[in-house]
Amino acid sequence: MNNDVPDEPLTAANDKGPLRHFRAGRRAVLQSLATGVGVVAFASRASAAHEHHAAASAATSAAPATPDSGLHFLDQHAFDTLALLSEQIVPGSRAVQVPEFLDRLLAVESIETQKRFTQTLGSFEREAREAYGKPWKALTSDEASMLLTKISARPDGDDTRGPFDNIKRAVAETFYATEVGMKELGWNGGVAFPPPAVCG
């Protein structure tokens, strides 16, 4: 029997959508479970998520609206970082609400996917702070362009290149699924249907 487990998504549904690049593969989950750590970590994460959700629901009902109240998963700082990255990677992303869409998707994703996504945003923060001593959202357009160019030229195995590719894919796939994005690819708004069958 072959013990090699291909690193595939856990379900067929997991290989769809712009966040699929952030999901854990079957091999990673099985390796984690095999050590016994995965079970404990999963249970504690699920419990923490439930407690966090309950506390957030209680706080939301008792607290007045805040600037973050329109967000579903990301906090305002993370959302602002994603919004700038989206626009820098695919101009026009803000106008079609790519970051808002990804925020809504993240709200219904697994804790592991959410964690991977926030770690990815954190890697861009780290790059900005190391290079310029300030967060990504405070970079000038030229500084952000220089950093993105530098990151995109790194080898595939680099710690920051993977996150860059994943964010780029998520943003591009979301943008080009919108009407604006499809028109940019050449769609003219027309839909062709086959002629109706003739009954004889």
Cα torsion 173, 178, 180, 182: sign: positive
Q: With respect to residue 194, please indicate whether it lies within any of the assigned structural domains.
A: no
Using the predicted structure, report yes or no on whether residue 130 has a pLDDT greater than 70: yes
pLDDT at position 195 is 56
pLDDT at position 190 is 73
The per-residue pLDDT for range 139-180, each reduced to its tens digit, is 999 999 999 999 999 998 887 788 899 999 999 999 988 888
Burial profile 113-146: b = 16 or more Cβ within 10 angstroms, e = fewer: bbebbbebbebbbebbeeebeebbbebeeeebee
SS3 182: helix
Q: With respect to residue 171, please indicate whether it lies within any of the assigned structural domains.
A: yes
Name the amino acid, one letter, at 104: R
Contacts for 103 with CB less than 8 Å, ≥ 6 apart? 71, 72, 73, 74, 79, 82
Q: With respect to residue 23, please indicate whether it lies within any of the assigned structural domains.
A: no
Q: With contact defined as beta carbons under 8 Å apart, do 78 and 118 qualify?
A: yes
pLDDT at position 184 is 83
pLDDT average, residue stretch 2-23: 54
Task: Place 135 in a pLDDT band, splitting at 50, 70 and 90.
Answer: very high
How far is the first Cα of the chain from the last one, in angstroms, to the nearest whole number?
58
pLDDT at position 65 is 34
pLDDT at position 51 is 40
Q: Which of the pair, 20 or 119, is modelled with greater confidence?
A: 119
Shortest CA distance to 86 belongs to which of 96, 76, 99? 99
Domain ranges, residue 83: 63-184
Query: What is the torsion angle, in degrees rounded to the nearest 10, for the CA atoms of residue 173, residue 176, residue 177 and residue 183?
Result: -170
Q: With respect to residue 19, please indicate whether it lies within any of the assigned structural domains.
A: no
pLDDT average, residue stretch 58-77: 60
Q: With respect to residue 42, please indicate whether it lies within any of the assigned structural domains.
A: no
pLDDT at position 27 is 41
pLDDT average, residue stretch 62-77: 67
Q: With respect to residue 168, please indicate whether it lies within any of the assigned structural domains.
A: yes
Name the amino acid, one letter, at 158: D
Q: Please state, in angstroms and rounded to a whole number, the distance separating the CA atoms of residues 87 and 89.
A: 5
Contacts for 94 with CB less than 8 Å, ≥ 6 apart? 83, 86, 87
Q: With respect to residue 112, please indicate whether it lies within any of the assigned structural domains.
A: yes
Q: With respect to residue 71, please indicate whether it lies within any of the assigned structural domains.
A: yes
What domain count does the chain have? 1
Q: In the 8-state DSSP scheme, what is residue 196?
A: P
